Structure 1
Amino acid sequence: MKVIVLGAGIIGTASAWFLHKSGHEVTVIERQPGAAQETSFANGCQISVSHAEPWANPTAPMKILKWLGREDAPLLFRPRAEWLQWKWGLHFLRECTAARTDYNIRQIVALAEYSRQTLGAVREETGIAYDHLTRGILHFYTDQKEFEQSLHAAKLMREFGCPRTSIDADEVVRIEPALKSVRARIVGGDFTPTDESGDVYKFTTGLAQRATQAGVDFRFDTTVTRLLHDGARITGVEIIDAHGVHQTLHADAYVLAMGSFSTVLAKPLGIELMIYPGKGYSATYQVTNPDAAPTVSLTDDGYKLVVSRLGDRLRVAGTCELNGYSRELNNTRCEAITRRISELFPGACDYAHPRYWTGLRPLTPSNVPYVGRTRIANLYVNTGHGTLGWTMGCGSGRAIADIVSGRIPEVDFAFTGLPAPRGGRPAPARTANA
């Protein structure tokens, strides 16, 4: 079949790669001048199956209330006169029950682990170099109550096959000696040896290059204006190409993988995707003292930051701001990242010249993405991966290629528009129309 993929981040590029491998003729439409120029450009770079506990959990409502008005809060909700934001917020609160949290963790772990294994196979097949490390992810806590609450999530993940082991503070520092300067403040942690890290931008651009060499047609600097439909099928996609020329492209199937912007394109079709942009921040530092910088990828629970070593760079990312589609840098939030990381690793990096960045993570209330069919016969979705796009990217791309090809994916996950997973419980109601 002819398949058009809309979006060339890690999700869209992986979808195109696996669709081509399934024998389809694939065209990718991307408004930026290259692959991975938006949310996949400078994220936290973790392949973190262990980070499957969603933002929506029983402790979230009180935390959000406590953080209201704090410019440096890990999760900052800026109320707007915007119906989608408030509706999304109500759905988020509904996902904060213990039962829904456990269910969502199960879904996220299943797809994330499948994706990690798929990434390994792609890495072996293609030889793409992306500063990857397979030293696991170490999650550390500086608040006793937060550590105690984490024990349930760690136990649940182990039951679902993720080897996330709770450890004491001494073991935290043994695994990552660069944390020794803050040993007195660490109360415990957990370690997942199978997790990884690596530069998502380098991987995605490398995969796009290999896909192009294999015959995938990437059309960059091309903007999608709308999807044409007759009520039952998509009949074409209107675009403005790199030369400003309006065109209509036609295919047998269409995959929507435009992250936070997927909702805008789907809404005129009567498809309501419950996705809201979560502005995440990152800072990249040049490592000046390799011995003082971490080599194990870290998650700082108290500040909701992730830390990844990328060769001679240190990438720190995190926080989430619900404030529409603006990508404007907030200096207070940027400075909070640098202040925290310099406290953790004094003298490790050039903290005077950070490279700050923001990206819009496509957040569903449950953190479970939309991957699968829609009610329009030839339109498929692969979007809403939130903070775990890199973690779930290859697995989601492989799964959507199976679905478009008429196959049932191997992973036990609640795919949109497909039967419930083998666990028997119905998927959370994320939308009535997808």
Structure 2
Amino acid sequence: MKVTVLGAGVIGVTTAYQLAKAGHEVTVVDRQAGPALETSFANAGEVSFGYCSPWAAPGIPLKAVKWIFMKHAPLILRPRMDRAMLSWLFKMLSNCTSERYAVNKSRMLRLADYSRVSLAAVREETGIAYDERMQGTLQLFRTQQQLDASAKDVKALAADGIPYEVLDRDGCIRVEPALRHVRDKIVGGLLTPKDETGDCFKFTNALAAKAVELGVQFLYGRDIKALEVDNGQMRGVLTDQGPIRSDAVVVALGSHSPLLLKQVGITLPVYPVKGYSLTIPIADAGRAPESTVMDETYKIAITRLGDRIRVGGMAEISGYTNDLPLARRGTLEHSVTDLFPGGDVRQATFWSGLRPMTPDGTPVIGATRIRGLFLNAGHGTLGWTMSCGSARLISDLVSGRKPDIDTSDLAIHRYAGA
């Protein structure tokens, strides 16, 4: 079967790789000059199979009000007269209940755990390297209130059989020795030891090369103009350099997916939630993290990537903007220097990317009402984490095979009116 994958980020490239392994003739189309040059370029670097939670959670509306008055707020809302933004915000707020949180987190953990197995398989069969480490994620709590509130996450982890460990201050220092320099600033943590770290950009480029070896064709520098549909059946894609005929199309365009799908009458509730990162060279390894530390106060991940530290986080709802406000850089610098003092943030590279978020936190993976049109989008902050599992699922669905895990609640049909 001829399959066209739209998007060459980590989701698109892993999808193309799995489809090629399944025996399909695969073409990947992207407007950039190479793989992983947008949201996959400089993300936080954490592969969080256990630290995997919806942003829509009980208490978030009240916290959001408090965050308005914080200098280093984890959530920034820059409202505009945008129907898509307002609709997305309303749907997200409707998911901020205990019942919805439990449902959403459970299916996210299901997909993330499947992706853990899938990533290990890709690593085994390709031998690619990407500054990977397998030392877990430490969710770090600065207050007793944060530690107490983690009980709901512990309950969800236990229910899904995901390994975890609740740590006191000394336990956190045992896992991340550099925290001994700031021991008085922390009270405890939640360790998910199966989590990993790695450079998503390196991984995506290395896997793209393996996909080429399997026969995948990458068409870079092409703007995607339209999906070509005839009598409810996909016929291909129209680009600025002409049409591409195919039997099936997988849309993996991240935050830009809804804009293309709107043309064929499909409403995908995905909205860009902007994140920021710093990449800092390590000057003193003894004052650097060993793996990923998630600063719960500021919702910022501090990750070891080879000889660099990647500091990533914040959620800014401001539409399709890619500016780099100095205030956001200040928040990242504050978190990393407060926990791991000694690094020279003046040498850091500052970056932003648009995370494709669904209102319930779970990506949209599966078929649509148009025959031959499939979606693999909306992974939010967890695209790197869920990429390999999502790719295997969509490959199975395109191929007409039964996936290894339940996908019935992952497709777009879970949204009324979609």
Q: TM-score surpassing 0.5? A: yes
Measured after TM superposition, the shift of residue 271 of structure 1 is: 0.5
**Map of 1:312 onto structure 2:** 307
Instruction: Please tell me the residue identity of whatever aligns with 2:398.
Output: V
Measured after TM superposition, the shift of residue 352 of structure 1 is: 1.4
Describe how 1:4-403 pairs up with structure 2 within 5 A.
Answer: 4-68=4-68, 70=70, 72-240=72-240, 246-347=241-342, 349-403=343-397
The yes-or-no answer on 1:430 pairing with 2:410 is no
Between the aligned partners of 1:71 and 1:81, the Cα distance in structure 2 is 25
TM-score by length of 1: 0.94
Q: Map Cα deviations across residues 347-405 of structure 1 (whole Å, 9 max, x no partner).
A: 1x221111010000000011100000001011000000000000000000011000000
Instruction: Please tell me the residue identity of whatever aligns with 1:268.
Output: Q
Measured after TM superposition, the shift of residue 413 of structure 1 is: 3.9
Q: Map Cα deviations across residues 112-134 of structure 1 (whole Å, 9 max, x no partner).
A: 01101110110111111100001
Q: Map Cα deviations across residues 49-80 of structure 1 (whole Å, 9 max, x no partner).
A: 12222110111110111122656310111111
Question: Does the CA-based 8 Å contact 1:273-1:431 persist in structure 2?
Answer: no
Comparing 228-237 and 18-27, the one that deviates more: 228-237
Between the aligned partners of 1:326 and 1:354, the Cα distance in structure 2 is 21
Between the aligned partners of 1:324 and 1:70, the Cα distance in structure 2 is 21
Between the aligned partners of 1:396 and 1:35, the Cα distance in structure 2 is 18
Between the aligned partners of 1:431 and 1:14, the Cα distance in structure 2 is 29
RMSD, aligned CA: 1.3
Question: Does the CA-based 8 Å contact 1:130-1:200 persist in structure 2?
Answer: yes
Between the aligned partners of 2:212 and 2:416, the Cα distance in structure 1 is 35
Instruction: Please tell me the residue identity of whatever aligns with 2:293.
Output: L
Q: Map Cα deviations across residues 155-199 of structure 1 (whole Å, 9 max, x no partner).
A: 211210211222211101111111112211212111111110000
Measured after TM superposition, the shift of residue 339 of structure 1 is: 2.0
Structure 2 residues without counterparts, runs of 5 or longer: none
Measured after TM superposition, the shift of residue 416 of structure 1 is: 4.3
Between the aligned partners of 1:411 and 1:351, the Cα distance in structure 2 is 43
Between the aligned partners of 2:409 and 2:145, the Cα distance in structure 1 is 35
What secondary structure is seen at the aligned counterpart in 1 of 2:347? coil
Question: Does the CA-based 8 Å contact 1:128-1:203 persist in structure 2?
Answer: yes
Question: Does the CA-based 8 Å contact 2:251-2:374 persist in structure 1?
Answer: yes
Give the percent of matched residue pairs that are identical in Structure 1 and Structure 2: 44
Measured after TM superposition, the shift of residue 82 of structure 1 is: 0.3
What secondary structure is seen at the aligned counterpart in 2 of 1:139? strand
What secondary structure is seen at the aligned counterpart in 2 of 1:234? strand
What secondary structure is seen at the aligned counterpart in 2 of 1:51? coil
Instruction: Please tell me the residue identity of whatever aligns with 2:311.
Output: V
Number of matched pairs: 418
Instruction: Please tell me the residue identity of whatever aligns with 1:152.
Output: K
Between the aligned partners of 1:59 and 1:50, the Cα distance in structure 2 is 21
Question: Does the CA-based 8 Å contact 1:78-1:321 persist in structure 2?
Answer: yes
Instruction: Please tell me the residue identity of whatever aligns with 2:18.
Output: F
Q: Map Cα deviations across residues 240-270 of structure 1 (whole Å, 9 max, x no partner).
A: 2xxxxx3011100000000000000001111
Measured after TM superposition, the shift of residue 431 of structure 1 is: 4.4
Instruction: Please tell me the residue identity of whatever aligns with 1:315.
Output: R
Measured after TM superposition, the shift of residue 345 of structure 1 is: 1.1
After superposition, the Cα gap between the structure-2 partners of 1:70 and 1:81, relative to the gap in structure 1 and judged at 3 Å, is farther
What secondary structure is seen at the aligned counterpart in 1 of 2:397? helix
TM-score by length of 2: 0.97
Instruction: Please tell me the residue identity of whatever aligns with 2:127.
Output: G
Question: Does the CA-based 8 Å contact 1:31-1:224 persist in structure 2?
Answer: yes
Between the aligned partners of 1:359 and 1:345, the Cα distance in structure 2 is 24
Return structure 1 stretches of 4+ with deviation > 6 angstroms: none
Question: Does the CA-based 8 Å contact 1:107-1:413 persist in structure 2?
Answer: no
What secondary structure is seen at the aligned counterpart in 1 of 2:311? strand
Between the aligned partners of 1:373 and 1:68, the Cα distance in structure 2 is 39
